[in-house]
Structures are given as C-alpha cells and as structure tokens.
Amino acid sequence: MTEPTLAAPHSSRSVRLRQNARRVLIAVLALLAVGALVVTEENWRGKRAWENYRREGEAKGEHFDLAWFTTKPVAPEQNFFATPFLAPLLNYEIIQGEVRWKDTNGIARVRSLGIVSGFPGGDLKAAQNYFRSNTNFPAAPAAQDPAHDVLFALEKFRPVLLELRAAVKRPAAVYSLHPERDVMAAMEMFSVLKSAAQTANLHARASLEAGHPADALDDVRFVFGVAQSLKGEPALIAHFVRIGILHLPLQTINDGLAKNLWPASQLLELQLLLLSDDLLADYGSMMRGERAFGNELMAHQIAGDDGAGIARTGGFGLPRFLSPHGMLYQNQVSMNRMHDLLTLPAVDSGAHRVFPERCSTNEFPKALGKKTPYNMFAWMTVPALHKAALRFAYTQNSFDQTAVVCALERYHLKNGDYPEVLAALTPEFIGAVPLDIIGGQPLHYHRSVPANFQLYSVGWNGKDDGGGIARNKNGKEDMENGDWVWPVK
C-alpha cells in the first residue's frame, strides 16, 4: 500500500509569502493609482488657476513673460556694454554651473579698476596715502595736497575712463540676464560698473577740492550715465546696484554744496540732472520685470528642467507623473497676487508718492493669508521685495532734496541770503519745488544758525521728528525711523 505524501512545511509558507507579496504589490499599485489621480486633479486645478489669473491680467494690459521685458539686441557700436573695455564681460560660457571667461586677459583688465573701491566715501587723504605708497601708481616727486596727489595717481586710469565716457553716450545699454544661468556673470559686470563709478567719483571729489568744478561735473555726469546703463534691466538686483552707484555722486554733490565749491552755472546743470532722473517712474516696470523673473524660474521648476529647457524630472525632483506642479502653479498665482496687493501699490509714480503703510509687515497676512504649501514661495520672497520701495523712496528723496538745495544756493548767490520759504524759489530758480514723497506735503524747511537752513522729509515712519536722524547700533542712519535730513552726517 502506498503511503500518502506530506507537503513540506516550507512550501505552504512560500505560498503564503507570495500571496502576501501580491497583496502588498496590489495595494501599492492602488495607492500609486490613487496618488496619481489626486496629483493629476491637483495639477489640473493649479494650472487652471494660473491660466485664469494670467488671462485676467493680460486683459488689463499686464505682461508676465520675461521675454517681454528683455531688451532686444542692438549693434555693438550702439551698445555701451560692447565697448572694448567691457566687451570681455559678455564673452563667456557656462560649464558645470561655473562661468568660464574666454578672454582672461580682458577680464583681468576690467578687474584692475577694483583697486579704487577701497575709498568709496572719497576719503582723499586715505587715497593719497595709499597711492603714494603703491609703486603701481604714478606719483609726483614731492607730496602735494591730497586732491592733487589723487588726480596725479588716477592718470593711470585716464584711457579707460575716456573710453567709458565716450561709450556711455551710446544710444543703448543692453545686458539682459538669464534668470538662472548668468547670475555670476552679472555679478562680475555689476562689480566692474561700480568700480568704474567709484574711480570717476574719486576723481570728481579730487577735482572739486583742487578747484576744477567743470572736470568734477563731467565726472558726475559720467557716473549718472553708468547708473543709467542698468535702467532697462528687469532684475531688482540690477536696480539696487544702480541705486548704490547713484549715491556716490550724490555725496560728492552734497559735499560740494556744503563747502560752496560749485559755481552758479554748474549748480543749475546739477539741478537739472537730478530732476531728470525719476526713480519712481522706473519702479513699476522694474517690479513687473522682477515678477516676470519669478514666473520664469517657476516655469523651470514646474517643467523640472535645468533652466536651458533640458528636462530632468518633474517639479521637486519627483517623477513627472507624481510631480505636484499644481501646487507650484498655486504658488505662482500667490506670488503674482503679492505684487498686485503689496509691491506695486507701494509707489504711485504719477503722484510722485510712496506709501510705507502698504509695505508694512502687518499687511503681509492680509494679502497672502496664512502660510500654506500653496503660498510658501510668496512668503519666502516678500520680506526682500518689500524693502525695494524703501530703497527707491530714500534715493528719490535724496535727489529731490539735493535739487532743492542747488536752487537754494543759486538763490543765495544772487540775493546774498536764503529765502524764508521754499515757495520763493519759484519760478526763477526751480519750476516747482518737489513735495515730500512720503505724505505728499511740502518738504520741511527752516532757516537756522549756523547751518543757514534745515531741509528734511518726514521719512519712512511718516512722522515729523523735528529733523531728528535715527541711527542704528553701528552709527549708520536708520532709514526706517527718524526724518530724512539733508545732508546726512
């Protein structure tokens, strides 16, 4: 008789393991299918929200693509940035995320201007000591006064400055940045522009002290021209560099005014130059350009590419079918609404007004709502962007006040005294006295001794602090508190 065969115990365990593995696999596939459906639905909702927002904005005349804000290429002979000295900065390639300059000798040449950046405040005595102790600069056989020694040393840069002075008169300045690839190249260009401005500004200060105000005025015009070369750039960083450059000649102009070094004819030219550069008029286009930069970067994140259109993964580095780009679209809508509700309303260029209350951190939750995954990028961005209106306002106020002081000095030269009220300047010495851009009321003006007069704006806090300047722990002016007084000591 044949005995029954018993199955091995491990065989039944193998069957159960395979069955359990199959169940787990089915469950995982089901979860992935549900997840994919959820992500697909979320992506559709997010994309639709962005498309609806964009369509409504374009119907009002708004533009959201970076290409619309990018200046079209021009012939090299018309482009300030294509002048031989600066041209090497346009000639590079990106290799593994790093900038590789093709003309290394040219780059070394443009960087040579950086030596003057050690004297951004125009300290002529410090500059004299440095130049006379450095054999790389020409020096007179015997030490002169600081102004003349600085002028002697700066002859080293005369060919470069003459070339740039001619180039800055060209009809165009085109240096458009790619939002991801060209950041380091842009930083190099900004650094060189600032060095050129500092060199020319130091020359202006020395010329003014040496009794050559006409030469100083030429330098001031040139520095304004360098700053203007960045006027058409859509990136906020370019305009912060522009503002930093503009503060150099403002200090030189104001120091010359305080020491009565500018003759009447040049005071008028300086006044017209200051009134011709309306920073507030550029604020809206700049901020819209910054908005377009954000949209460009978000588009690359949604596409999961490398910024050059080469697909890598979906958003957040996930596989494309699981990429939550719907959440990114929602963040894009939030970022654009942030501009609608916070950054753009902060400045009214037509009224020549800035509204600090619209930049208050208390306004952020009202405009953005509570922090969620759908607005996290807006919350990350707004602290930096809301400072832009402050920087523009402070610099525009400095322009306005310095133009008024030019008119006051012209009045003083003609009449032997300063007027009792600013209204006495019109129309002979100024067409219209600028109003305080904070609050829209007249600038505060008082006759005083021994400074002859006091002129100030109520500043960012909107309060009249009696001409008091607030300072931070480092002794620098606190732009958000106190009055904005001419000139800041």
242 domain residue, yes or no: yes
CA distance 436 to 204: 29
How do residues 99-121 score in pLDDT, each as one tens digit?
Answer: 889 999 999 999 988 877 666 55
437 domain residue, yes or no: no
> Which residues are bridge partners to 116 per DSSP?
none
pTM summary value: 0.87
- For tokens 């002016």, name the residue: 477
Contacts of 19 (CB under 8 A, 6+ apart): none
- Could you tell me which of 290, 330, 339 has the C-alpha nearest to residue 66? 290
221 domain residue, yes or no: yes
- Helix, strand, or coil here: 484? strand
213 domain residue, yes or no: yes
Identify whether the C-beta of residue 278 lies closer than 8 Å to the C-beta of residue 286. no
Instruction: Report pLDDT for 181.
Output: 60
How do residues 46-96 score in pLDDT, each as one tens digit?
Answer: 889 999 999 999 999 999 998 898 878 889 999 999 999 999 998 888 887
Written as six digits, the tokens of 96 are: 């593994």
Instruction: Report pLDDT for 64.
Output: 95
Q: Please state, as a whole number, how many other Cβ atoms lie within 10 Å of the Cβ of residue 132.
A: 18
Instruction: Report pLDDT for 206.
Output: 96
Which residue stretches of the chain have pLDDT < 70?
A: 1-11, 13, 15-17, 19, 23-41, 117-122, 176-181, 305-323, 489
- Helix, strand, or coil here: 93? strand
- Could you tell me which of 338, 387, 328 has the C-alpha nearest to residue 365? 338
Count how many domains the chain has: 1
Identify whether the C-beta of residue 336 lies closer than 8 Å to the C-beta of residue 64. yes
123 domain residue, yes or no: yes
Peptide bond before residue 324 is cis, with ω within 30 degrees of 0:
no
Domain that holds residue 125: 71-262
302 domain residue, yes or no: no
226 domain residue, yes or no: yes
- Could you tell me which of 228, 278, 244 has the C-alpha nearest to residue 80? 228
Q: Please state, as a whole number, how many other Cβ atoms lie within 10 Å of the Cβ of residue 292.
A: 22
Instruction: Report pLDDT for 313.
Output: 45
Identify whether the C-beta of residue 259 lies closer than 8 Å to the C-beta of residue 331. no
Instruction: Report pLDDT for 96.
Output: 77
Instruction: Report pLDDT for 310.
Output: 39
172 domain residue, yes or no: yes
Written as six digits, the tokens of 416 are: 């032997």
H helices of 351-375, in order, are 363-368
